[in-house]
């Protein structure tokens, strides 16, 4: 989410920092689980917290409103771009 070369794609905040990008590139190499990998991930997390390119929050209540002609809608716990996966049943539209 904060990888500089992914600005405008996965990195919607357009955050760019050479130290973070270098660590991220290193993290993409195959590393076995262990203290070195954990330390690298913790350092990436600390940079994200310190510079806060994203504000994370939680909403306990979500409301959905659907019409009978909407097909294929299922709430996803994280992804809110549902419109890619739905369709309209034209026979059920009000006349």
Contact 73, 87 (CB under 8 A): no
Integer CA distances (angstroms), 8 to 2, 3, 15, 24, in order:
10, 10, 10, 17
Q: Is residue 62 predicted with pLDDT exceeding 90?
A: no
pLDDT confidence tier of residue 16, bands split at 50, 70 and 90: very high
How do the domains of the chain map onto residue ranges? 4-51
What pTM did the predictor assign? 0.55
Q: How far is CA 84 from CA 16, 73, 77, 81, 88, in A?
A: 29, 10, 16, 7, 12
Give the pLDDT confidence score for residue 89 in this predicted structure: 94
Q: What does the pLDDT read at residue 1?
A: 81
Choose among 24, 26, 29, 16: nearest CA to 44: 24
Report d(CA 45, CA 20) in Å as an integer: 10
How high is the pLDDT of residue 10?
81
CB 3 within 8 A of CB 11: yes
Res. 79: pLDDT tops 80: no
Distance CA 72, CA 70 (A): 7
């Amino acid at each position: 989410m904060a990888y500089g070369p992914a600005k405008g794609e996965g990195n919607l905040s357009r955050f760019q920092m050479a130290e973070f990008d270098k660590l991220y590139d290193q993290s993409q190499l195959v590393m076995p689980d262990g203290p070195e990998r954990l330390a690298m991930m913790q350092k990436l997390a600390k940079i994200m917290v310190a510079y806060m390119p994203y504000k994370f929050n939680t909403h306990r209540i979500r409301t959905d409103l659907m019409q009978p002609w909407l097909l294929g809608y299922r709430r996803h716990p994280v992804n809110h771009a549902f419109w890619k996966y739905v369709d309209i049943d034209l026979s059920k539209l009000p006349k």
